[in-house]
Amino acid sequence: MGLRCILAPFRKIRVVATFHQAGVASKSAVTRGVPRLRELLKVTQNPKATSLTIYLKPEYRNNKEKAREVVQDLELTVLRNITDKVAIYWDENDESTVVEEDKELMEFYHLFEKGLIQDDQVDASTLSKWMLRLELNQEEMFNRNISIQEVVSVIKTQFGSEEINVVYSDYNSDRLVMRIRIPNKDGKEKDTASQMDDFTNLKKFQNKLLNSIVIRGFPGIKGVTFRNDKQYVEQVNGKYQQVEQFVLDTDGSNFSKVMNHPAVDGTKLYSTNVWDVYDVLGVEATRAILFNEISGLFDSVGVNYRHLCLLCDVMTRFGRLMSIDRYGINKNDIGTLAKASFEETEKILLKAALFGEVDPVTGVSANIMMGQAIRGGTAFSQILLDDQMIPPLLRDIDIQNKLQEEEEGDLSRFEESGVSSDPCSTAHFQMNMTLPAISEGMDEPDIELSIIQE
């Protein structure tokens, strides 16, 4: 009944699938309307669009530059996001490279290499003839506050300094270039067939390098924006004061990672993904998220909050999330008739008849089907007999006098009507007897009763 009251307003209003919020890029395509309600009722584990609302700690929330640094730390950046061009070259000798743009780079690199000690120098004969060249986007790296030294450090940390050879340009160069070669494991030159195998392996390495290497940020956080919130109020010295702060909004979610960030106030972190909250904070916090998300869909309609509370209580009553569909409600022990009134009526009734299931008729749906009053409202209470109160009541009653008074009253009634007061009189003799049916094959004769009056 509560669910019917919740869904009724959707028949009267036009519902859109997305909600566009001006000025908040990360929430410009948050799923709304019927699709979002369907995700919440079915407790979808992979919703289409998730978002985090992040509040910063006091030392970060009032500083715009610090808030921007937190944005850069949280937003996921892989190597592909800052790469403009990728190419594989057959380049046998770095000193006479086939890439004209890199000749000046290699000259400076060899001058730098001569200043190194002998152990730190790399033998070019042990490197593969195939070279992977990446050209990075300077503007994108500047916006994300990433240096080329940081990128090279992450790559060497992931693959190991001995497993990969990287030559890169200075940060002040016109082009930010990385030249990557894979050393030969045996340290010897390879034949043509082996060189082709190196090309195949380098191609696989390229895809892994661009898509799997996380330069900065958390997986799942596609984008982060921050806004100035002037509507926040907090209690300071026993008085409520308005606080101006910077609040972050994300496109995507990684609840546990973001909560552990040193600049994030984990006590105020909010996620639109109920499963993130359930895994970290438990079922009570999940119920609060469900109520906020569902009630937010009905702001313009006006649904009694008690209906929403009842729905959220049903979904979380067992300490876990239960979906409002055939895979959630019908898995509970609520009786055959109640299950049949929801979905798959024929299938449920057929199964109940096949296995001889018994419905105790204790729920609302079952009682309505059977034409009985539900256990609610005026029919909620029952009259119970208190056995402990019977002995004290009996002690206060004079049973013998009560029986004598009733007997004298009966005799006086007969005397007034002119009937004999003799207890053995035929006027007092009444018999209501129903004889059992005589089984077939019995030889005993039937019993006949007759009343003889004198």
HEC string of 277-338 equals: HHHHHCHHHHHHHHHHHHHHCCCCCCCCHHHHHHHHHHHHCCCCCCCCCCCCHHHCCCCHHH
The amino acid at residue 214 is V
Cβ neighbours of residue 346 closer than 8 Å, sequence gap 6 or more: none
Asked whether residue 428 is assigned to any structural domain, the reply reads no
- Output the CA–CA distances (angstroms, integers) from residue 442 to 97, 434, 437, 445, in the order listed: 120, 19, 11, 8
CA 245/CA 230 separation, integer angstroms: 7
Tell me: do 266 and 158 sit in the same domain: no
Asked whether residue 7 is assigned to any structural domain, the reply reads yes
| Residue in 318, 309, 132, 296 with CA at minimum distance from that of residue 209 | 132
Write down which residue in 160, 184, 216 finishes a domain.
Answer: 216
The answer to whether 71 touches 249, Cβ cutoff 8 Å, is: no
Cα dihedral 321, 324, 328, 333, rounded to 10, equals 100
Write down which residue in 188, 216, 244 finishes a domain.
Answer: 216
Write down which residue in 271, 289, 316 finishes a domain.
Answer: 316
**Can you give the CATH number for the domain in which 172 is found?**
3.30.1360.140
Asked whether residue 35 is assigned to any structural domain, the reply reads yes
Tell me: do 204 and 92 sit in the same domain: yes
CB atoms within 10 A of CB 416: 8
Place of tokens 């990557």: 180
Q: Is the dihedral of CA 182, 184, 189, 191 positive or negative?
A: negative
Q: Please, what is the Cα angle at 27 between 26 and 29, to 5 degrees?
A: 105
CA 47/CA 35 separation, integer angstroms: 10
The list of the chain residues with pLDDT below 50 reads 13-26, 28, 117, 119, 432-436, 438, 441-442
Residues spanned by the domain of 174 = 79-216
Q: Is the dihedral of CA 249, 254, 256, 258 positive or negative?
A: negative
Per-residue HEC secondary structure of the chain comes to: CHHHHHHHHHHCCCCCCEECCCCCHHHCCEECHHHHHHHHHCCCCCCCCCCEEEEECHHHHCCHHHHHHHHHHHCCEEHHHHEEEEEEEECCCCCCCCCHHHHHHHHHHHHHHHCCCHHHCCCHHHECCEEEEEEECHHHHHHCCCCHHHHHHHHHHHHCCCCCEEEECCCCCCCEEEEEECECCCCCCCCHHHHHHHHHHHHHHHHHHHHHCEEECCCCCCEEEEEEEEEEEEEECCEEEEEEEEEEEEECCCHHHHHCCCCECHHHCEECCHHHHHHHHCHHHHHHHHHHHHHHCCCCCCCCHHHHHHHHHHHHCCCCCCCCCCCCHHHCCCCHHHHHCCCCHHHHHHHHHHHCCCCCCCCHHHHHHCCCCCCCHHHCCCCCCCHHHHHHHHHCCCHHHHHHHHHHHHHHHHHHHCCCCCCCCCCCCCCCCCCCCCCCCCCCCCCCCCCCCC
Asked whether residue 441 is assigned to any structural domain, the reply reads no
The answer to whether 240 touches 233, Cβ cutoff 8 Å, is: yes
The answer to whether 16 touches 32, Cβ cutoff 8 Å, is: yes
Tell me: do 186 and 291 sit in the same domain: no
Place of tokens 């916090």: 285
Q: What is the pLDDT of residue 130?
A: 86
- Full-model pTM: 0.68
CA 262/CA 103 separation, integer angstroms: 44
Asked whether residue 268 is assigned to any structural domain, the reply reads yes
Tell me: do 204 and 95 sit in the same domain: yes
CA 250/CA 263 separation, integer angstroms: 15
Tell me: do 37 and 19 sit in the same domain: yes
Asked whether residue 390 is assigned to any structural domain, the reply reads no
Tell me: do 90 and 210 sit in the same domain: yes
Asked whether residue 364 is assigned to any structural domain, the reply reads no
When divided into structural domains, the chain yields a total of 2
CB atoms within 10 A of CB 198: 17
Task: For the chain, give the longest Cα–Cα distance.
Answer: 148
Q: What is the pLDDT of residues 129-188, one digit of tens each?
A: 888 999 999 999 988 889 999 999 999 888 887 778 888 888 888 889 998 888 876 655
- Output the CA–CA distances (angstroms, integers) from residue 331 to 323, 345, 348, 349, 363, in the order listed: 10, 14, 12, 15, 16
Tell me: do 89 and 199 sit in the same domain: yes
